[in-house]
Amino acid sequence: MDRNSVIGIVLIVAILFGYTWYTMPSEEELAAQQRSIDSLATLELEKRAKEESAALELKERGDSGVVAQGIVDTSITQEDRLLAAADSALVDSLRSAALAQKFSVFQPASQGTAEEVTIANDHLQVSISTHGARPTMMLLKQYQTYHKTPLLLADPDSGAYEFKFIVGKTDISTQDLFFTVERKDTDAVVLRASTGDPAKFLRITYHLDSSSFFMDAKAEFVSMAEEVDARNLVFHWDLVGRNNEKHQPTEQQKCGVYYKYFSADRDYLSETEADEQKLEGRTNWVAFKQDFFTVAMVSNEGFASNGSELAIVPLTDSAHTKRYEATLYFEKERGAAPSVDMRFYLGPNHYGTLKATELPEFEKIIDLGWGIFGWMNQWLVIPIFNWLDGWGWNYGIIILVLTIVIKLLLMPLTYKNLVASTKMRVLKPEMDVINEKHKDGDALKKQQATMELYRKAGVNPASGCLPMLVQMPILYAMFRFFPASIELRQEKFLWADDLSSYDSVLDLPFTIPAYGDHVSLFTLLMAASTIVYSLINQKQMPTQQGMPSMKLLIWLFPIMMLFFLNNFSAGLSYYYLLANVISILQMTLLKSWFVNEDKIRAQLLLNMKTPKKKSRWAQRLEDEHDPSSAGLWVARVPQREARGGRRRTATTPGGADRHTDPKRTDPRRCGEIRFPFLQHGTHTVLRHMQGLPDRGVPQRLRHL
């Protein structure tokens, strides 16, 4: 046999051994196969026992000549009875061994009868099954769905709810155990899962607070500290959110998972796509948030970061919103008692209610906007809204009064904006002269002439911008407040049947992309009022270049809002409509009673005749555009006097000295340093020294 043949045989043998080793099942797979074989054997034995029992019954019941279903009756012997009893005992023994392997000491709790136990308080009604000690129904008494059905936060088909633990090397879940009712009250129930030892058992207690939306849950392993390690206790909940509101796509967009670390601000998973997160710190609470309701899990000890995970997945059917999932380990020390204390918040996303729970940042599961926008809602909008809500008015009237109050608060800014725009508009004759003079000239010179006109007349072009900037946070705060306000949920006003959702005066038999399948009248009126307000406001502004583009925006912006807000809260569109109408009335009244254009123009002409001292900022701008100085600042630095004088003098922009001592500003004794005013992004520095020694340059200018 040659060398190549030997190598080939060795390789073939190596491949065969490698393949055999690679395809060899693992210990877990062998155990699974053995369990499958045992299960099949158990089923076969049960089948044989049933057949033999049936045959024995037929033999005992009939005569020797009776034939039943093809089985010929024969005489019953004592040996037959003994064999049947032996087979039945073997089946029971195998079943008991299988249950002991699966449930360990909790084998007695592996079988039983499922029953429903109901507890309730003023706000909640919770049904709990004795199979798994699992809440099968969580009902909010004071709320209904849009379709007038009971509002359920959870139902029997909502998904898995379980406590997981390890006994020895056996993983056990409470959803596989049958519990017995140890004690039952109106608002509380105590359930027990027994072991073979009466002194050792698992007790799960549920208790509803008398006047809140909290349910306390406690799982404790009595006298089982040696069998159960507290660090392996896990709570797992897989919850499917139900569609409770009018518009399922909008409701789905507002569903999310929120959580709060003890040492960090609240955070959340994506609300627009599937997302998951492994907890990275000790966590105080986890919330499954729907549009207007929340199911939250709270632990004062904290959920541990090791192994805890959160996930959310959008669902495609119209009856549900998203699937929430939480796997939570508990922060336990080695040797700690194997028990778990949790609290569940099962209630509305009402800002005051969430705030009253005293859970840190729990109210922030309501998206009121970030930064100054959230601050506006928390400290301005919500207090005013709650105060008006106390009068018991219809919410359409409350929104009207709220809009009037906010507009009154903003009236000084509105007046200032109107005066500023009027000042610029009455200077139109002078502006026309400048435009005609520099029609084909340098744009920079035209801008300089315009700024000079405004300076002489005492007009600040930026004064009208500040009022608008102040109003923007309020507009955006309202954009966040109304869709998130549960007070508007299912509240009717005029043709709107639910101010928290869209209003529809015409349901379309088709869907318009980016618009929807209905027509919102509040949104139409809001868009029309925006056009009217923009046209009136345009007349108050001076005519400038680029106005054709502004005219296009007058029409484009309302059309965009028409598409954007068609599926939004009717309360929001109604507020924007009222804001536009009140703004038009304010502008008309202020212009008629408080703003006299003739007096304003006369004052501006008088200002133009009165010389004005230039401010340092105006002087700087003038120097920037002065061709003679080429945009350079000039600093004069006197030489050190022979007697050791330390006084130095630097000029202000343009060359005017700060000090008037002629000896110290004599050009023969001073050097000049010119440097650009950062024009065109340059940082180049030009030095022009007239025999001035470096030690004569002030320290603040020496680096130049």
How confident is the model over 534-550, as pLDDT tens digits? 888 777 665 555 555 56
Residue 310 near residue 257 (C-beta atoms within 8 A): yes
Instruction: Report pLDDT for 299.
Output: 93
Q: Tell me which amino acid residue 378 is.
A: Q
Per residue in 140-178, pLDDT (tens digit) is: 999 999 999 999 999 888 888 999 998 888 888 999 899
As averages over each run of 10 residues, the pLDDT of the chain (704 residues) reads: 67 68 60 54 55 54 45 50 51 53 78 91 94 94 93 89 88 91 94 89 93 93 87 92 92 94 91 91 94 94 90 92 94 85 95 93 91 89 93 93 92 83 79 76 76 77 69 87 93 93 91 90 94 81 58 81 91 94 89 79 77 64 55 44 43 43 44 41 37 46 44
CA distance 169 to 167: 6
Contact (CB, 8 A) for 276 and 323: no
pLDDT score, position 235: 95
Give the per-residue pLDDT at 35.
Answer: 56
Exposed e or buried b for every residue in 197-229, given b needs 16+ CB within 10 A? eeebbbbbbbbbeeebbbbebebebeebeebbb
CA distance 143 to 149: 9
The set of residues, in sequence order, having a beta carbon less than 8 Å from that of 482 and lying 6+ positions away, is: 488, 499, 500, 569, 571, 572, 575
The reported pLDDT for the residue numbered 697 is 46
Contacts of 664 (CB under 8 A, 6+ apart): 638, 647, 649
pLDDT of residue 575: 95
**Residue 499: CA atoms inside 13 Å, Cβ hemisphere, count?**
20
| Helix %, strand %, coil % of the chain (to 5) | 45, 25, 30
Q: How many helices (H) and strands (E) does the chain have?
A: 18, 25
How many other C-beta atoms lie within 10 A of the C-beta of residue 113?
8
